[in-house]
Chains A and B, each alone.
Chain A
């Protein structure tokens, strides 16, 4: 440690802290869609990772199209592509709810199996359409490079972008669930389906659109990931366990819990990986989560509603 000067240590602290924050925004983005689908609706969507992959491939396709046909628009395509990622994932989610999920609301374990099957099918379709190799989108210039407040501190711009996006999406989800008329209906439906139906809410429509919105958010998350990692047919499935753990650990019905759990998991993991190896850091984090969950099964933040 003697080799480091005080300012070096400060730079390490800032950059390590930033890498923790950037992992936090990744986990949060992944978990937000699931927090709606699993946390609010109680549907186990094992294909959630594949909806992220849809978003990532959408960005890839947009970047290729723009590069070939409208090279002058390269700096701007990303904004449009994110909206595209949301829309495509939304539409696919809508169709999946209509054909599959709506028959299974009363059988959660079967939903798990069916959506796992769905994820296998989607992975194979990705592989047929985009090839088995990992691809990455050509990013606009403003996402490349890094920000250097001092000569020693080096913060990548794409990391900042993911963080900004995660804040924006979280804000949007909070507004949607707790401030909009639609969110009120969603919460009413999940809390008491029969009563919600009795007061004139079309619960089936609510289910379908809510599920689709959750999928759309997963698409946006996938779109953001293309700025930091490449995309392959099975990339989504790598995230699924982490994503579920974030939501469960946070207390499945609490959105604030999801944010808190993403933050604590990300910070724990990035600190631990600094001291241990990458794999062991992850193992210790996951073990701790599971131990805490065994002692406190309802997660960090319990929803105030009795079920």
Chain B
């Protein structure tokens, strides 16, 4: 059990990194920021789920998914459908032509709740769907592609096309999805008002804890034999295949895992921000998620979180004051992260700070053990 925990935390250096991140997310941010800003950070942290998923899929699996927003969207839309149904009860929609259905359906002359919406009355089903829908879709996509040994660039382009299709579909089917405006006016979760300040605080903490939990699960996977295999097949796929492994299954596993992680982030996004719209699932947001992971370091789970926070903070700060500079800056980041520092912030940390921190830790440990030695001597 202890060994398992140790692996989930990522040994000593990993545990320190995780602890620092936990303190920043769960202690410093809530103390330093007012609720509006904290809610914004919470929103960024939901993107961090997608970025962490990308570290698994891209950094370790070697599969660049340009459709991470798709799965983020599936999670978000599932949650939004549940919340919307709860918000459209008979009394608050009494003025509609058809009471009891979401308002946008009424505007689009839909008179009956569509089949696909029916099960989302149940919260248990919604939670199940948030995991199961992206899992199923990612499985179908990745199994079809990887079993036929399609990989690399082709896979990226096809995931991008899927993101494009889904956006067109969601925007086009207004009566079913709310169209370009998305699903808005979400109020309560099982009767609990999610728009109050206290609810926002609680959701922020749940989100932060979930994110840390996801990172620990990823650590577990990566430190297992599976994780080593992933690295091996990223570097020399054929060699792993000739050693007798079914390479496709490992790739499918990582891709599905990344998809589910993003979907959890998407569901948390809906809860914290209070709406879901196609602007969050298309090509551009999906590729922005890649830059979050790339800036943080494509091989570092914790780095991905920092990358997400920094890029989004920069986006908000820049686009408030110099909107025209932001795109230039963003473009430069894409180029810079590829040309100059391919391992992102985590790479910079590794090459400049890691040794010092390790030395410092060793010294502390030595001091401690020599203290203990003294105590033991004194007792004897």
Q: A residues near B, CB below 8 A?
A: 42, 44, 100, 103-104, 107-114, 116-125, 127-128, 241, 244-245, 248, 277, 279-280, 282-283, 286-287, 289-290, 293-295, 297
Contacts and interface: CB of A to CB of B under 8 A. Distances in A.
Contact of A117 (B150, B153, B161, B334): B334
Given A104-B339, A111-B338, A277-B172, 8 more contacts: A107-B338, A108-B152, A108-B153, A109-B152, A121-B327, A124-B331, A283-B169, A295-B144
Contacts of A118: 331, 334-335
Interface in B319-340: 324, 327-328, 330-335, 337-339
B171 A117 contact: no
Contacts of B164: 241, 286
Contacts of A297: 145, 148-150, 154
A279 B332 contact: no
Chain B CB within 10 A, most for which of A111, A113, A125: A113
Given A113-B337, A244-B157, A123 B327 contact: yes
A120 B331 contact: yes
Contacts of B171: 279
B110 interface: no
B304 interface: no
A113 B172 contact: no
Nearest to A46: B287
A287 B157 CA distance: 14
A95 to B, nearest CB: 14
A198 to B, nearest CB: 25
Contacts of A295: 144
Interface string B128-162: 00000000000001001100111011101110111
Contacts of B332: 117, 121
A248 B145 contact: no
B45 interface: no
A100 B338 CA distance: 10
Interface of B: 58, 64, 141, 144-145, 148-150, 152-154, 156-158, 160-162, 164-165, 168-169, 171-172, 283, 287, 290-291, 294, 324, 327-328, 330-335, 337-339, 342
Contact of B168 (A44, A121, A248, A279): A279
A283 B162 CA distance: 10
B342 A282 contact: no
Secondary structure class of chain B's binding surface, majority of residues: helix
B129 to A, nearest CB: 22
A78 B229 CA distance: 58
Contacts of A122: 331
Nearest to A43: B153
Contacts of B331: 117-122, 124
B342 A110 contact: yes
Contacts of B334: 113-114, 116-118, 120
A118 B336 CA distance: 11
A290 B162 contact: yes
A103 B334 CA distance: 15
B161 A290 contact: yes
A282 B166 CA distance: 11
A50 B342 CA distance: 25
Nearest to A121: B331
B165 A120 contact: no
A109 B156 CA distance: 8
B29 to A, nearest CB: 29
A110 B328 contact: no
A110 B338 contact: yes
Nearest to A107: B338
A50 to B, nearest CB: 11
A110 B340 CA distance: 12
Contacts of A110: 338, 342
B337 A245 contact: no
A118 B334 CA distance: 8
Contacts of A117: 330-335, 338
Given A124-B324, A248-B154, A112 B64 contact: yes
25 contacts: A44-B156, A103-B339, A104-B338, A104-B339, A108-B152, A109-B153, A111-B338, A112-B156, A113-B291, A116-B287, A118-B331, A120-B330, A121-B327, A122-B331, A123-B327, A127-B324, A241-B283, A279-B168, A280-B172, A286-B161, A286-B164, A286-B165, A290-B162, A297-B145, A297-B149
A127 B333 CA distance: 19
B309 to A, nearest CB: 20
B153 A112 contact: yes
A121 to B, nearest CB: 4
**Pairs A-B, 5 closest by C-beta atoms:** A117-B334, A279-B172, A121-B331, A120-B331, A294-B144
A259 B294 CA distance: 36
Contacts of B168: 279, 282-283, 286
Contact of B328 (A116, A121, A280, A287): A121
B140 to A, nearest CB: 9
Nearest to B63: A109
A111 to B, nearest CB: 8
A247 to B, nearest CB: 9
B325 to A, nearest CB: 8
A120 B330 CA distance: 7
A108 B153 CA distance: 7
Contacts of A248: 154, 157-158
